A and B are shown apart, each in its own frame.
Chain A
Amino acid sequence: MEAILAEIVAKYNYWIYVVLMMIGFYAMIGKNNLVKKLLGMNIFQTAIILMFISSGVKRGGGIPIVNKEAVLEHGIQAASIVNPLPHVLMLTAIVVAVSVTGVALAILQRIHKQYGTLEEDEILERINR
């Protein structure tokens, strides 16, 4: 019990983001309405982006925007700047999330125009008829 408590305190950010991920995952598979499934996917993507960015933090580190003249004179220590690589990769991930949401909403509009409803079981019933 002590070991688990010590683990939770040391890695509390991963625990918070796993809880957020599971909320999005439940919305994706447990809800019937197609728009709610899409929003669940959005919550999932946001939780993953936040988890990656929080994994790059260093104790006592500053942001990755430095003073050019000071660095060209003295040099820079890698342990005093937060890891910039997750920030870069998550910029791409945010743009991908926006693109997927846009295309999914367009497809949902066509589905509604064709079948008249956005509930998954009613759509399956109307397809099989």
Chain B
Amino acid sequence: MKRHHALPQDRPIGPSLIIELSARIMIPFIQLFALYVIAHGHYSPGGGFQGGVVLGASFILMAIAFDLKTSLRFFSIRANAIMASSGVFIYSGTGVLCALIGGLFLDYSALDAIIPLGPVEWRSMGVFIVELGVGLAVTSIMASLFWDLSSGGNMDKGL
């Protein structure tokens, strides 16, 4: 089985059982809560920006508690770039799709012509699709900003 974490003696501060164990327990729950905040933007305070920042913060916690290379093994630079671009693409693509079908730019009720759900229900669904795009973009940019700023450009040794 491939080892995901760096060996304890290679890390900058050495082995630390409490930090590693508590981070390993908390990170999946933080990510699950972040997905909950993104998906419940309709019914409670939340939405794309807020949930995206919490999801990006889980990768930053991984980079602080373990090692920068451990965080890169779970979320590689290539996947980061693809996720950021696809977040912006989903948002603008929805707008352009609405314009191509017949309505105005970012007029979600015009998408009623593809799948007939009713124009008011399509507005609610359009808000959800758009918040998903925003969440993807904000997640990857938060993680990328932390990696770049804490390692000075070479993704070698973080904080």
Asked if A102 and B49 make an inter-chain contact with CB atoms under 8 angstroms apart, the answer reads no
Interface of A is mostly: helix
Cα–Cα, bound, A94→B138 (Å): 13
Asked if B44 and A65 make an inter-chain contact with CB atoms under 8 angstroms apart, the answer reads yes
Asked if A91 and B49 make an inter-chain contact with CB atoms under 8 angstroms apart, the answer reads yes
Interface residue from B49, B145, B149 paired with A95 (Cβ < 8 Å): B49
Asked whether any CB of chain B lies closer than 8 Å to the CB of A39, the reply is no
Asked whether any CB of chain A lies closer than 8 Å to the CB of B20, the reply is no
Cα–Cα, bound, A109→B150 (Å): 10
Cα–Cα, bound, A91→B152 (Å): 29
Chain B contacts of A106 at CB under 8 A? 148-149
Residue tally, chain A, CB below 8 Å to B: 8
Asked whether any CB of chain A lies closer than 8 Å to the CB of B14, the reply is no
A-B contacts, CB under 8 A, total: 14
Interface residue from B44, B138, B149 paired with A109 (Cβ < 8 Å): B149
Q: Which residue of B lies closest to A87 (CB)?
A: B45
Asked if B152 and A102 make an inter-chain contact with CB atoms under 8 angstroms apart, the answer reads no
Asked if A102 and B45 make an inter-chain contact with CB atoms under 8 angstroms apart, the answer reads no
Q: Mark B30-71, 1 if CB is under 8 A from A, else 0.
A: 000000000000011100010000000000000000000000
Asked whether any CB of chain B lies closer than 8 Å to the CB of A105, the reply is yes
Cα–Cα, bound, A105→B147 (Å): 13
A109 and B49 contact, Cβ closer than 8 Å, known pairs A65-B44, A102-B145: no
Chain B contacts of A109 at CB under 8 A? 149, 152
- Tell me how far the C-beta of B50 lies from the nearest C-beta in chain A, rounded to whole angstroms: 9
- Tell me how far the C-beta of A121 lies from the nearest C-beta in chain B, rounded to whole angstroms: 25
Asked if A105 and B49 make an inter-chain contact with CB atoms under 8 angstroms apart, the answer reads no
Cα–Cα, bound, A91→B53 (Å): 13
Cα–Cα, bound, A109→B153 (Å): 10
Q: Which residue of B lies closest to A64 (CB)?
A: B45
The winner among A65, A91, A102 for most chain B CB atoms within 10 A is: A102
Cα–Cα, bound, A16→B45 (Å): 27
Q: Which residue of A lies closest to B47 (CB)?
A: A91
- Tell me how far the C-beta of A114 lies from the nearest C-beta in chain B, rounded to whole angstroms: 13
Asked if A105 and B149 make an inter-chain contact with CB atoms under 8 angstroms apart, the answer reads yes
User: Footprint of B on A, CB under 8 Å?
Assistant: 65, 91, 94-95, 102, 105-106, 109
User: Footprint of A on B, CB under 8 Å?
Assistant: 43-45, 49, 138, 145, 148-149, 152
Task: Taking A95-B49, A102-B149 as given, write out 4 further A-B residue pairs in contact, using a Cβ cutoff of 8 Å, ordered by the A residue number.
Answer: A65-B43, A94-B49, A102-B145, A109-B149
* Between-chain CB contacts (< 8 Å), 14 pairs: A65-B43, A65-B44, A65-B45, A91-B49, A94-B49, A95-B49, A95-B138, A102-B145, A102-B149, A105-B149, A106-B148, A106-B149, A109-B149, A109-B152
